[in-house]
Structure 1
Amino acid sequence: MWNKIAIFIIKNRLRLMLVLAVLTAFMGYHARNVEMSYDFANVVSPDDPDMQYFSRFKQTFGEDGNVLVVGMQDKSIYQLEKFKQLQELTQQVSKVEGVKGVIALPSLVQVVKDTAERKFTTQNIFAPFPQTQPRLDSLLQVVENQNFYNGQIINQKTGATLLAITVDPAYLNSARRVEVMDNIAALTEQFTKDTKIQLHYAGLPYVRAVMTTKVASEMKLFLVLALLVTAVTLFIFFRSFYAVLIPMLVISVVVVWVMGTISLFGYKISLLTGLIPSIIVVIGIPNTTYLLARYHFDYRRHGNKVLALTRVISKIGLVNLVNNATTAIGFIVFTFTHIAILYEFGVVAGINIFVTFIISMILVPALFSYLPPPTERQLRHLDAKPLNKLLEFFDFIVHRKRPLVYFFLTLILGLSFWGIYKVKTVSYMVDDLPEESSVNADLAFFEQHFNGVMPLEIIVDTGNKQGVMRLPNLRKLAELEGFLHTQPILSAPISVAGLVKTATQAFYEGDPSSYRLPDNTERNFIFSYLAKQNDGANQKLLRAFVDSTGQSARISLKVADVGSRQLDTLINKRIKPQLREIYGGEGVTVADEGNTMRFTRDDSGAETTVNLTGTTLLFIKGNQYLINNLRSSLLLAFVLVTFVIALLFKSVRVVVISLIPNMIPLIIAGGLMGLFNIPLKPSTALIFSIALGIAIDDSIHFLAKYRSELHANGFNVSKAITSSLIEAGTSMIYTSLILFFGFVIFAFSEFGGTKALGILMSVSLLIALFTNLIILPTLLMSFDSGKYIHEPDALIEGYEEYYDEDSDAELDLAQLRLKLDQEEQEPENGKVQRV
C-alpha cells in the first residue's frame, strides 16, 4: 500500500502542492479572525452542585470577580491638594466606558437619620469639598468614625486606602476589557506622575488583563524561538540550507492550519491553546528529520534521487504515521475530560499533529524532487563519527554492563519514588505569574493592608421569607462576622449585619460607640426607619447583601491568595467548626455536604443552610478537578499507546519491554517535582500524557529497526541490537535533541506553569532518549530470545524491509514520468530518474 502511496505522491506532486496551497490560503483567511480568551475558563463541570449554586448566586447578587482595586499608602494623600487630585481621579475613572462605579475615599457616604421623614438617607461626607486642611481633617475623622469602611476602603492603622472600581461584566469577558484597563491605567499613571504617589493594582479584572496580554506576547515569542531553535539544530545536523528551509516551510504551513483550526472551531487563544503553535513546531520537526535522514541514507547508497524520495514515503510512512498517532494520543486524551480548555487543547493539537504528518509526507519529497541531489558535504552527517562513538559506548554498556545498568536504574527509581511521595498538590489564583512579577508585588501590598482581594462568599439561607431581618438571625450573622474578622487571611466582612449596625450608629447621630446591632427595645424604631428605604444608595446596598425575598443573606469577603491547602484548612478546620458552634447545638442535626452545611432543628424541622462559594473557591476546585482528570488522561493515554504497540507488533513481550523505558522518564519527572518542591498542578500534570505520547516514538523507531535486524542477522539478538543502536540511534538522537531544545524554550516563560511544563517536558524527553538507547536494548538482551513468530495481523509485518535495500524492485518507477527540462533519461535497471 505504501508503495502505491509513494508513487501517487511523486507522480502528482504538483497537483497536491496546489491543493495544499489552496487549503492553506483558506485556513489563513480564517486565522485572521482568531480571538484571545479574556476570562478564567470554568473547568468545573456544569453539573457539579457547587458550580450550579455559584450560577444561582450570580443571578441573585451579580458578579463577585469584577472589581479592580487601586491602592496606595502615602501620608501626603491626606493633604488637601493631593486629596483633591484623588477626588478628580475618582470622578475621571467613574466616567470611563465600561466602569459601573467607583468607591473611593472622596466618594464615601454616611448614613444619617431624617427625623422629619423617619427614615435613613445618605450624604457624601466630602460634599461640599473642603477648602481648608482643618476642614479636611475633620471630615477624615468622620470617615474614621464609620467603622463600616475600616478594612474595606481605608486601613486606619497603616493609612493605606484604595479605589474599588466595578467593571461592567459585558466588558469584562470581551476584547473591550483591554481598552477599559488601558483607559483606567492612563488616568492612574497620570495621577502618579502628578502626585509622585505609587499605586498598586489588583483584582481579577487586572490579573486577567495582564495574563491575556502576556499570553499574546509569549505566543509570538515562543513561535519565533521555536522556529529559530529548530532551524539552527537542523542546519547543525544536515549542513544544508534546503534541509532547513523546507522543514521551516512545512512547519509554517502547519502553524497557519493551527490558527485556522482554532478560528473555524470557534475557539479562542487561551494559556493552553496559545502554546499549540510552538508545540507543533517542536514535535512536527521530527517528521521532516526522519524523512531527510532516510532520503540522504538512500541516495548515498544508489545515487537515484527519485528512488530515494519514493522509498522515503514507502519505508518511512508507516513509522511516521504510528509516531504521529502515539504523539496525538498524548493530546487527544484531553478531549475525554469534558473540560472546555482541555477539550479545545486536545482537539486542535490532535488534529494538527496528523495534519503535520500529511503535509510533511507531501511537501518534503515533492519539493526535494525539484532541487539538486544532496552533495557529499551534505551527506557527511550520515557518518556521524562522534555520535557513533557514543552509540558504540552505549552498545558496550548494554552488552557488558547490564548488572550495573539495573543497579543504577533501581537506585534512580528508588530516589524518584521517594520524591513522588513528597509531591504536594497546591494551586494559587495567580499561580502562573512569577514571584518577581509586579502583579505579585501589588498583591502582597493588598494582603498586607487589606488581607487580600480574592473574592469569597458565604450565603446564609434562614429558611424563612424576611428571616434575615429577625434579630436572632442578625445576631448569628454578626457573631460569624466577628469570627471572620479575626482570621488573618480574610478581609473585613461585609453583610447586612454591618449595614444594620451602621443604621444603629446613624440613629444615634453617628456615635461610633453605637456601631452595633439594636437590642429588642431599639429594634422597632430602627427597623421602622429601614422599612422606608424604597430607593437610593441604602436600598441598593441592602439589595446587594439580601435577596429579594429577605430569606438569604450574603457575607462578602476577600481572601489572600494563600493557595488551595491553606484555603482548605481555613474552611474545613476553622470556618465550618465555627458554623457548627453558631448554627448547631443541642437538638440540631448538621449535614456537611462539601461547601454546603445544613442545620435542621429536630423539633420543628426548620432548616438553615450555609453555602460557601465565590470565584476563588470555584477556581481552586476547578484546578483540583483538572488534576484529577489529567490523571485519568494519563491512564487513558497509557492504554491507547499500549493498544497501538500491540497492534503494531502483536507481541505481549514487546509491549511490556517497550513501555518500561517510557514509564521511567515519567517516574523520574515525578520524583524531580518532589525533590525540587515543584507542586502538582494543572500545568505540571499536563506533561505526563504528552511526554508518554512523544517518548514512545523512539521505542517504536528502535523496535522497528530491531525487528528488521533480527531477520538480517539470523535472529541473533546481540548483533541485531548492535546494528539497531548504530543505525537507528543517530536519528533518535537528532530528533530527541530537537525536541529537547524546542521544549526548553518554554522554561523562559513568565508563567510559572509554562516554565514548569518546559523544564519537565525537556528533561523527560532527554531521559527518554537514554532509556530507549540503554534500558530498552538492555531489556531486549535480557528477556528476548530472538525467536520470532510471524503474526500476519501485525502492522509491522508488512514493514519488515524497513531498512532492506533489496526491495527496490517492488517500486515500479517506470510509472513515473518526471520532467525537469522536458527530458527523460533511462537509468540503470529501467528506473526513471529526473535529469
Structure 2
Amino acid sequence: MIKWFSLGFWELIARVVLRNKILMLSIVVVITMLLTLQWKNIHFTYTEANLLPDDDIANVEYKAFLSKFGEEGNLVIIGVKDEKFFTPKAYAAWSQLMESLKSDKGVDLVVSINDLKKLQKNDSLQKFELVPFVDNSKTLDENYLKKIKTELFHDLPFYEGLLFNKRSGTIRSAIYLDKKIVNTPQRKDFILKKLIPAVDQFEKETGIDLRVSGMPYIRTMNTETIKSEIGIFIGASLLITSLLFFFFFRSFRATLISMVIVIIGVMWSFGVLGLLHYEITVLTALVPSLIIVIGIPNCIFLTNKYHQEYKVHRNKAKALQRVTTKVGMATLMTNLTTAIGFATFVASNNKLLLEFGVVTSINIMALFFLSLIVIPIFHSYVPAPVERHLRHLDRGSVKAFMDWILRTVKQDRFSIYVVAVVLLVISIIGIYKMRISGSLIEDMPKKAPFFKDIVFFENEFDGVMPLEIMIDTKRKKGVMKLSTLKRMDEFEKEINQIPQLSKPISIVSLVKYSKQAYYNGNPEYYDLPTSQEQAFILSYAKNSVKDNKQNLMKSYVDSTGQYARITTFMRDDNGDKIPLIEAEIRKEAEQVFPKDQYNVTITGKSLVFQKGTGYLLDNLLSSLVFAFFLTAVLIGFMFRSFKMILVSIIPNLLPLMITAGIMGFMDIPLKPSTILVFGIAFGLSVDDTVRFLAQYREELKKNNWKIRKSVFATFADSGLSMFYTSIVLFFGFSVFMLSSFGGTIALGGLVSVTLFFGMMSNLMLLPALVLTLNKTLANEQEFIEPKIDIIEPSDEEIDNRPGHRDLGAKDQ
C-alpha cells in the first residue's frame, strides 16, 4: 500500500504539472519576481569572518578589549622607499596627499612626517607641548630636507617602527579612520573614491611608487576582488556545463532549457540571500555557481529519462508523464543527500558556515522542484526528440573504460581491495603531515597589487597583523604608577625577543619620549624616569592629558587609567605559530605581572581568527559524523538494513581520507576554505551510492536473488549515468580554480579530486563490497519492502496500479 501510495503521489505530481502548465509556469514567474525584489537587501560583508561562537572566551575577551579601546582595525598605512622622497618636488606632493586625506570627514587622524609633532616641555606651564617637527617654510630647500631625514632617524626613536625603518630608510604615514565607518559602506567609499585616486595622482606627479596597506584597505580590496569573481564563476560554470550537456544530448533545445533552469536557480539564490538578509562573503559568493554545477545533473537525469522513455514507445506525453512517475523519488533522494552534505555546516555553531549551509541547502531543494516542473512542461511545447537527439543512449565513447571497470570487478576484486588499503595507508601518513593555518591573508590573491603591498610592509615593519595585549591593573589610574610602567617595560623587552613579533607600542614608549622631551629632546634620555625624576616628569605628562587635543595617551590607556594596551604586529606567515607565540607571551606575563595585582589578556584579530580556524577543525569531525549519521538514517529508512548502511559509508569515507592525505603531502593547510571540502564532497558523492544500491535491490527482485547477475545489471543500468554525473561535477567544481583566492582554488581543486575518487570508489569498491558480502546482503530478510520506494517502477507496475489512467493517449 505504501509503495502504491508513493507511485500514486508522483503520478499525481506529473498529472498536476502537465495539466496545469500555464499555472505552474506562472507560479515559477511569480516566485522569481518576488525573490528578485529581495535583491535590494543584498550587500557585501564589511567585516572579517568571525569563526568563533559569540560566547567563546576568545570572542568575549576581544569584545572586552574593543569596549575599552575601540575598533583596532582602523589604520591605513601608506609607505614609500625611494631616495627621491626627500626632494622638494616629492615632499610637496606628499604633503598635499596627506592634507587631502586629512580633510576627509572619514579620517580621524593622520600621522605623517610633513605634519609630525614632537614633544617639547613648557616650563612655565609645566607640561609637554606638541610642536611641529618640520618648518614647512623651508621645505623647498633640499639641504633642509636632508637635515630633517637625519634628525628623524637619529633624534626620534619613539617613531621608529611607526613612521620609519631606520635600517632601510622606508617612510610611512598612518591614517586612522573614524572607527564609526570602519565596518560600513563609507569605508569602501573612502578607499575607492578618495584614497586610491589620491595615491595614483601622487605617483603620476612624482614617478614614485607608493605602498598602501592596513586592515580597512585590505578588506576593501579583498571584497572588490570577490565581487569581480562572482560574474566569472557564473559565466564559466554556465559555459562548461552547457558544453558538457550539449555533448551528451546533441540538442540545442534541451541545452537551452537546462541553462534557463539554472539561471533561474541563480536568481533565486540571490533572492534567498536578500530575503534572509545574509551578507555576501567569500563563501556565500560561491552559492550561485554551486547551484549551476549541482543543478545540471538534475537536468541531465530528467532529460535522459525522457529520451529513454520516448525511444521505447514514441509517445511524447506518456514519456513526459513517466519521467516524474519513475524517477521523481530517486531524484528527490539524491538532491536530499546533497542538501544534507551542505546542511551539516549548520551544526558548526558558526555564523559564516551556518549561512552558507542554509542558503545552499534551500536552493538545492528549490532547484529540484524547479527542474521537475519546467523540464516536462518545456518539452511538452517543443517538438519530440529526433534520432540525432537519441543517439547518446547508445553511444560507446566511454564503453572501453566502463568495460575495464566491469572486468576488474568481476575477475579481480582482490586487486581493488589491495589498492584501497594501500591508498588508505598512504592517506593516513599524509594526514599526519597536515597543518592548520591561522592566516588572515593566506587565501587572498597573491598576484594582486594590494597583496604585494602586504608583503612589503611585512618585510619592512615586521608585519601588519595586530596582536593586542591588555593589562588590567585592577585599580583606577594604576597604569601610570612607575612600578606598573617598569613591569610593562620589562614585559615589552621580552616580547621584542620573540622573532615573529614587531617592536611593541604602548604608553611606555610615550613616557620614555616624555623623559627625552624633558631633557630637551636628547635621544640618550629615551628611557623610563627614575623614582627621583618620576614626580616632575609624570606631572608634566598628566598636565598634557588635560588638553584633549594633545592627549597622546588615549590610544594606549583607557579613560579610567586602569587598563593599558600593548600593540605588536606579526607577519602573517607566522599564523600557524600563534599558539606557540601566545604560550610564550603568557609565560612571560605570569613572571612579570603577579596575578593578584594584574590581569593580562592576549587578543587581536590575528589571534581570534586563528582560534576560529582551530574551532572549525574541532567541529569538522562532528560535522562529518553528523553527515554520516543523517545519511545512515536516510539509507536505513529506505533499506532497513544495517549492513547496507556500512556498505554505503565505506566507499564514501575512503575518498575523504585520500583527499586529506593529498592535503598533507602537498602542504595544503586546513583552513576555513579547505575544511568545507569534506562536507560538500560527501554530500555529492553519496548520491551515486544511494542510486546504485537502490537499483541493486530492484535487480535482485527481478533476477530471483541472483547476486552476480543483479550487480552487473545494476552496473550496466546505472554506471554510465554515475560516470556522466561525476564528470559534470568534476569539471563544474574545477571552475573555482579560475579564482585568484587561494582558498577558493583549493576548494575547487580538492572537491573535484574527491569527487573523482568518489566516482571510482562507487564504480569499483562499492559493487566489489556488495559481491563479497552477497550472502548477507542478498538475504530476503534484509530486503523486506522499504518504507519508501525510490527506484523507478516498471511499466507494468504503473499500468496495473488500481485506478491508473494513462495521460498519454488523451494528451497526445
Query: What TM-score comes out, normalization by structure 1 length?
Result: 0.93
Q: CA deviation at 1:320?
A: 0.8
Q: 1:720 aligns with which of 710, 732, 745?
A: 710
**Residue equivalent to 2:694:** 704
Tell me the distance in 2 between the aligned counterparts of 1:169 and 1:518.
33
Q: Counterpart of 1:18? A: 26
Which residue does the alignment assign to 2:351? 340
1:292-311 superposed matches below 5 A: 292-311=303-322
Maintained 8 Å contact 2:119/2:129: yes
Partner Cα distance (1:404, 1:684) in 2: 31
CA distance in 1, matches of 2:621, 2:550: 49
Q: Partner letter of residue 592 of structure 2?
A: I
Is residue 70–residue 179 contact of structure 2 (8 Å, CA) maintained in 1? no
Choose which of 349, 367, 379 in structure 2 pairs with 1:368: 379
Corresponding residue of 1:569: 580
- For residues 185 and 244 of structure 1, what CA distance do their matches in structure 2 show? 44
Letter in 1 for 2:798: S
CA distance in 1, matches of 2:782, 2:623: 34
Match of 1:821 in 2: none
Q: Is the 8 A contact 1:451 1:488 kept in 2?
A: no
* Paired position in structure 2 for 1:607: 597
Partner of 1:34: 42
Letter in 2 for 1:57: F
Check if 1:680 corresponds to 2:670.
yes
The letter of the residue matching 1:807 is I
Structure 1 residue aligned with 2:169, among 150, 159, 165? 159
CA contact (8 A) 1:307 1:813 kept: no
In the aligned structure 1, how far is the partner of 2:40 from the partner of 2:380? 33
Shift of 1:417: 1.2
Mapped pair 1:755 → 2:745: yes
Distance 1:167 1:803 in 2: 70
Distance 2:152 2:546 in 1: 23
Against the structure 1 CA distance between its residues 617 and 65, is the aligned structure 2 distance closer, same or farther, given a 3 Å change threshold? Answer: same
Give ranges in structure 2 of 5+ residues lacking alignment.
Answer: 1-8
Give the Cα–Cα distance (whole angstroms) in 1 for the partners of residues 722 and 232 of structure 2. Answer: 28
Mapped partners of 2:344, 2:591: distance in 1: 46
Match for 2:24: what amino acid?
L
Change (3 A) 1:805 1:124: farther
Contact 1:417 1:671 in 2 (8 A): yes
* TM-aligned CA deviation for residue 499 of structure 1: 1.0
Q: Please give the secondary structure, in 1, of the residue aligned with 2:810.
A: coil
Deviations 1:40-81 (A, max 9, x none): 122222112221221121121111111111111111111232
Aligned to 1:179: 189
Residue number in structure 2 paired with 1:781: 771
- Cα distance change on mapping 1:800 and 1:281 into 2, 3 Å: closer
Opposite residue 103 of structure 2, the aligned amino acid is: K
Mean CA deviation greater in 443-452 or 754-763:
443-452
Residue of structure 2 in register with 1:559 after alignment: 570
Q: For structure 1, which segment, 508-517 or 25-34, has the greater mean C-alpha deviation from structure 2 after superposition? A: 25-34
Distance 1:422 1:172 in 2: 39
CA separation in 2, counterparts of 1:651 and 1:298? 32
The residue aligned with 2:227 is 216
Q: How does 1:734-745 map to 2 (within 5 A)?
A: 734-745=724-735
SS at match of 1:269: coil
The residue number in structure 2 matching 1:139 is: 148
Separation in structure 1 between the aligned mates of residue 580 and residue 688 of structure 2, nearest angstrom: 45
Paired residue type of 1:384: R
Match of 1:518 among 529, 550, 554: 529
Identical residues among aligned pairs (%): 36
Question: How far does the alpha carbon of each residue in 1:561-612 deviate from its partner, in whole angstroms, 9 at most, with x for none?
Answer: 1233222222213x233223323xxxxxxxxxxxxxxx33xxxxx4211111
Instruction: Write the mapping of 1:61-140 to structure 2, written as runs, cut at 5 A.
Output: 61-130=69-138, 131-140=140-149
Change (3 A) 1:812 1:241: farther
For residues 373-422 of structure 1, what are the alpha-carbon distances to aligned partners after superposition, in whole Å with 9 as ceiling and x for unaligned? 11111111011223333323222111111111111111111111111111
TM-score for both structures, normalised by structure 2: 0.95
User: Which stretch shifts more, 268-277 or 199-208?
Assistant: 199-208
Q: Secondary structure at the match of 1:555?
A: strand
CA distance in structure 2 between the partners assigned to 1:694 and 1:147 by the alignment: 59
Moved more, 694-703 or 431-440: 431-440
| Amino acid corresponding to residue 328 of structure 1 in structure 2 | A
Question: Matched residues in 2 for 1:83 and 1:252: separation?
Answer: 54
Choose the corresponding residue for 1:279, options 249, 271, 290. Answer: 290
Q: 1:517, 1:405 → 2: CA distance?
A: 73
Does the 8 Å contact 2:681/2:755 carry over to 1?
A: yes
- Kept in 2, the 8 Å contact 1:43–1:339? The answer is yes
- The code of the aligned residue for 2:479 comes to V
SS of equivalent to 1:832: helix
Cα distance in 1 between the residues matched to 2:376 and 2:189: 48
1:198-597 matched pairs, under 5 angstroms: 198-536=209-547, 539-573=550-584, 575-583=585-593
Shift of 1:289: 1.0
Q: Is the 8 A contact 2:681 2:751 kept in 1?
A: yes
d(CA) in 2 for partners of 1:398 and 1:363? 39
The alignment status of 1:635 with 2:625, answered yes or no, reads: yes
Q: Does 1:653 align with 2:662?
A: no
Match of 1:807 among 789, 798, 807: 798
What amino acid is aligned across from residue 179 of structure 1 in structure 2? D
Q: Is the 8 A contact 2:121 2:129 kept in 1?
A: yes
- Counterparts of 1:6 and 1:129, CA distance in 2: 86
Gaps of 5+ in 1: 584-598, 601-605, 817-826
CA distance in 2, matches of 1:192, 1:377: 62
Q: Quick one: distance in 2 between partners of 1:732 and 1:215?
A: 33
The CA distance in 2 between the partners of 1:54 and 1:90, in whole Å, is 32
Among 655, 671, 688, the residue aligned to 1:665:
655
The 1:811–1:179 alpha-carbon spacing in structure 2 relative to 1, beyond 3 Å, is farther
Contact (CA 8 Å) 1:305, 1:833: kept in 2 or not? no
Cα distance in 2 for partners of 1:809, 1:6 equals 17
| Alpha-carbon distance in 2 for matches of 1:20, 1:809 | 34
Secondary structure of 1:423's counterpart equals coil
Tell me the secondary structure at the aligned position of residue 551 of structure 2. helix
Deviates further, 167-176 or 347-356: 167-176
* Counterpart secondary structure, 2:469: strand
Aligned equivalents of 1:760, 1:214: Cα separation in 2: 22
Letter of the structure 2 residue corresponding to residue 150 of structure 1:
E
- Give the distance between the partners of 1:289 and 1:92, measured in 2 at CA: 58
Checking the alignment, whether the CA contact within 8 Å between 1:708 and 1:802 is kept in structure 2 is: no
Task: For residue 640 of structure 1, report the CA deviation from its aligned partner.
Answer: 0.5
Could you report, residue by residue, the CA deviation over 1:751-806 in whole angstroms, capped at 9, with x for unpaired residues? 1111111011011111111111111111111102333237666244x355545566
Question: What does residue 586 of structure 1 align with?
Answer: none
Cα offset for 1:689? 1.1
Q: Which residue of 2 aligns with 1:832?
A: 810
SS at match of 1:164: strand
- Tell me, what secondary structure is at the counterpart of 1:563? helix
> Is it true that 1:47 corresponds to 2:38 in the alignment?
no
Query: 2:545 touches 2:552 (CA, 8 Å); kept in 1?
Result: no
The code of the aligned residue for 2:749 comes to I
- Farther off after superposition, 740-749 or 704-713: 704-713
Q: Is the 8 A contact 2:439 2:576 kept in 1?
A: no
Q: Is the 8 A contact 1:429 1:563 kept in 2?
A: no
Does structure 1 retain, via aligned residues, the 8 Å contact 2:734–2:752?
A: yes
Is contact 2:711–2:767 with CA below 8 Å preserved after alignment?
yes
1:819 paired residue number: none
Look up the SS of the partner of 2:129 in the other structure: strand
